[in-house]
Chain A
Amino acid sequence: MDNSLSFTKPLLETPFHERTYEACYNNDWYRWAGYKIAREYSNTELEYTAMRNTAGVLDITPMHKYDIKGADAIKFVDKLVTRNASEIKSGQVMYIIWCNEDGNVIDDGTVFCFDSNHLRIFCAERNLNWFSDTAIGFDVEVEDVSDTIAALAFQGPLSCKILNLLNVKNIENLRPFYFDDFDLNGCKVTISRTGFSGDLGYEIWCKNEDAISVWDSLFKFNRDYKVLPAGMNALEMVRVEAGFIQPNADFMSAEQALRPNRMRNPFELGMGWLVDLNKNYFTGKKNLVNLKKKTLTKKLVGLDIQGDKPAIGSVLYDKNKKEIGIVTAGMWSPSLKSNIAFGYVDKDHMKIGSKVFAEIYHPEELEYKKIWAECSVVKKQFFNPPRRHKVPAEI
């Protein structure tokens, strides 16, 4: 067929593209919100190891960023999210989820409070429509500022040390879930002590024109510390170890799921601690009050699996071989030296220590090896080193 008339919009390039393109030896790109992001630069395991032992640099520019400005900015966020956000202070970051009227989770993200009239929400999926409709009746303006801010995640045990060497003043005293403005190599940047790796790490937000300079400075001490750019595959590994779930991977966003029974409420996702039913009215409160009273029929839990073959896409069974759930993400964790996964289990197997079985199909040189592996239900947060929370951070 003649293809000359077909039109596809090319993927956008982030402000870091000049550098990521050079580094992306595999030329393996992932499509994220219309942008090209490296899936693997050269070797996923190497990138993972950098993040766990020195530091890794991730281009997270495609993250959606929404400015909330106006007198009711805090009230708006409080109506949107399940947590009590009414007492958020400037300089603070809060991890948030938001639900629809049925109490099913739409997405998760973080909210940064610049001052009581200006907040910014970061999330992985597009939410402008939802935010704009939530803003009706509030004195706020919601603006998508995604394309105006370049962002890097700088994650790993040496991240603070390297920033310190780069003369970022007082960075070690930045507390987890706080942010501030800093000077990095002559560029004005906002740095928050947040991240998706479950380790000590920072996220650096800068202007598009400063992007290359910020990128280069992070690799300045590479002769000694070997910082590596990390791709989405490596990020997937660290986020599972850290116990972070992702919309449309571990649960379907309520705004996108077509089948009503595929939506999940916060309790099923193990995020009940994020739901405050005593605060002012928020979207979904009415149903969440009812849901809290009901016993859960399924829950997303962590699984510690026998053997070393990752249980990707496995079906879970009880001891009588009755199907009870499915694995949503699985991997062999090099740091923990164990085979871990997230999976949904039924109401009889939610307790920590319960035993379930996974049927693992492991491809081995053009043949599947079928493994019947025993799993024990554990906490989702597999990896949580003390240095992650330490203030001042290790230099």
Chain B
Amino acid sequence: MRKFDIIIIGGGHNGLVAASVLSKKGNKVLVIEKNEQLGGLSNYVDSLSYISEEVLKELNIKIEKDINENYVSALSDDLYHTVLKINGNKNIEILQTNASESDQVNFIKLINKYDLFARTLRSFMFKKPPRVKSGSRSDIWQLVSMGLKVRLLGKKNMRELLRVIGLNIADDLEDNITDNILKGLLSNEAVIGTNLGARSPGSILNLLYNQATNNSIFRINKYNTNSFLNSIREICKKNNVEIETNKKVEKINISNQNVNSVLLDTGEEIQTSSIISNVDPKTTYLKLVGAANLDTDFIRRTKNYRTKGTVAKIHIDFENEIKINNLDTKYLSGKFVYAPDIKYIEHAFNDNKYNKLSSNPCLEFYINKNKLTANIYFIPYLINSAHDKKKILSNVKLILEKFVTENQILSSTIETPNDIEDKYNISGGHWSHGDMEIDQLLMMRPFYGSSQYSTPINGLYLCSAGTHPGGGVTGINGINAAKQLLKDNRNG
């Protein structure tokens, strides 16, 4: 039987990051990936929106940024589109809009407010989250510093943060601006990839959280995915990490609450004393570990962890190069949002509540010559059935026809949350391996009893997006999990 110090289940970006950190310390590491291609869900996005400085520094790598100037265009049915130019994370300029002068001023003010709050939250993102009642000094210190950071915002801003943090995005927008397109544009950022509508409490928190992890409110910094994956793979190669693709872990064998070995679908058993699972928490616990090794209360929390995916992806090939009606071609390199107002988003969200397709979905898309890639929501994950993809396509077509004329669709492929589940082995096909809502964040991510990357099973750790700080290609989950494992091994 082969033997490794550490086995990493899943060669997603977090698994690879964890492997590079661990192998640097001289551990014999094996990464097992189910698919041919490494990178997991980071391949799903065409370009990465953000990789944190902390990760780049820790791994000592550099990644190319594709474009410096970014545009975000909010499409409008009356073809008076709104275009923003984004330089870095703070400098946002409105290039064209139908909104009034005061709306424009208030919109920028609102964005600056969210940016301030997001920067405060950002300081919590990159450390392991403190446990509330552990009594450990580092946990207490971190809790105190979290409180202090919020207090240092000043009286007025702290009050404002505490006022809006549980609020829904629609309320805050309606208090400040009147233009529907601008409202829809910001709401899009608050609800995409979640089970929240613009009027659901917690949508502002989700917006701030996204902004904090991505360092950009519109998630539009473009880093090259391949460049990132290649550089971590190189580190792994240099440190003799063994990577095996096209192999699936069927079971984690456990004896006496200690990790013992993993069983592959090839029938091979590989011995180890430590495992980091890059698989989502639900699959890890219910399928790999098995309910027989866990307490009923814990199983209950695992079962109740919300992982319903809501976003589908469509790739469309057009006959000719794509042009958007009534929009300058120089903005085509940017991001397009079709979420024309709050009511529209809410109606799309209503269908999601009853596990139905939104017949008028919201879109977020990118254009590359004659190719168009769009995130469509809300397309809920279905447990025992499948969506009619033709219907999804025709819904999307109806929207695109308003803006793209004199062009024919040649072919298209659609990935629903069910497809994401099958392809990447993520239960529910959720972008972030679980809803990013207040009861599933920080020390409560994924849930009580499983925080700080550790699990009830000795030697088993989690590093997927189901852990703090959640989804997005940050790599933080991998680093923190690896550090926690090293710390526990040091302490015996």
Contacts and interface: CB of A to CB of B under 8 A. Distances in A.
A138 B296 contact: no
A137 B295 contact: no
Nearest to B456: A286
A100 interface: yes
A133 B292 contact: no
B455 to A, nearest CB: 12
B291 A101 contact: no
A44 interface: no
A104 B300 CA distance: 17
Contact of A101 (B257, B286, B298): B298
Contact of A133 (B257, B293, B299, B449): B299
A138 B299 CA distance: 12
Contacts of B295: 100-101, 283-284, 286
Contacts of B290: 137
A134 B299 contact: yes
A281 interface: yes
B254 to A, nearest CB: 8
Contact of A137 (B291, B300, B449, B456): B291
A100 B449 CA distance: 13
B257 A281 contact: yes
B257 A137 contact: no
Given A101-B295, A101-B449, A281-B292, A133 B300 contact: yes
Contacts of A101: 295-298, 449
Nearest to B304: A133
B456 A130 contact: no
A284 to B, nearest CB: 6
B303 interface: yes
Nearest to A133: B300
Nearest to A106: B296
A285 to B, nearest CB: 8
A79 interface: yes
A226 B298 CA distance: 53
Contact of B296 (A75, A133, A280, A286): A133
Contacts, number: 42
A136 interface: yes
B257 to A, nearest CB: 7
Interface string A268-302: 00000000000011011010000000000000000
A134 B296 CA distance: 5
A125 to B, nearest CB: 15
Contact of B299 (A137, A280, A286): A137
A138 B291 CA distance: 8
Interface string B101-145: 000000000000000000000000000000000000000000000
B292 A137 contact: yes
A134 B456 CA distance: 17
A315 to B, nearest CB: 31
Given A137-B292, A138-B292, A100 B297 contact: yes
Nearest to A131: B296
Contacts of A284: 295
Interface residues of A, number: 16
Interface string B275-313: 000000000001000111111111110010000000000
A100 B300 CA distance: 11
B293 A136 contact: no
B271 to A, nearest CB: 21
A134 B449 CA distance: 17
A19 B431 CA distance: 63
A130 B292 contact: no
A80 B291 CA distance: 11
A275 B422 CA distance: 42
A281 B298 CA distance: 13
B296 A130 contact: yes
Contacts of A281: 257, 292-294
A286 B303 CA distance: 21
Q: Which of A75, A79, A101 has the most CB of B within 10 A?
A: A101
Given A79-B292, A101-B449, A281-B293, A136 B257 contact: no
A83 to B, nearest CB: 16
Given A286-B257, A286-B456, A137 B286 contact: yes
Q: Which of B294, B296, B298 has the most CB of A within 10 A?
A: B296
Q: Which of B257, B291, B293, B295 has the most CB of A within 10 A?
A: B295
Nearest to B303: A136
A302 B23 CA distance: 60
Contacts of A137: 286, 290-292, 299
A75 B300 CA distance: 18
Contacts of A138: 291-292
Interface string B433-453: 000000000000000010000
A283 B296 contact: yes
A168 B286 CA distance: 49
Contacts of A100: 295-297
B415 to A, nearest CB: 29
B304 to A, nearest CB: 10
Interface string A138-171: 1000000000000000000000000000000000
A288 to B, nearest CB: 11
A80 B286 CA distance: 17
Interface in A70-127: 75, 79-80, 100-101
A136 B299 contact: yes
Contacts of A79: 291-292
Contacts of B303: 133, 136
B302 to A, nearest CB: 9
Contacts of B449: 101
A305 B296 CA distance: 41
B475 to A, nearest CB: 32
Contacts of B297: 100-101, 283
B252 to A, nearest CB: 14
A286 B298 CA distance: 12
In the A-B complex, the 6 residue pairs with the closest CB atoms = A137-B291, A101-B295, A101-B297, A283-B296, A134-B296, A283-B295
12 contacts: A101-B298, A133-B296, A133-B300, A133-B303, A136-B291, A138-B291, A138-B292, A281-B257, A281-B292, A283-B297, A286-B257, A286-B456
Given A136-B291, A136-B299, A137-B290, 12 more contacts: A79-B292, A80-B296, A100-B296, A100-B297, A101-B298, A101-B449, A137-B286, A138-B291, A281-B293, A286-B257, A286-B295, A286-B456
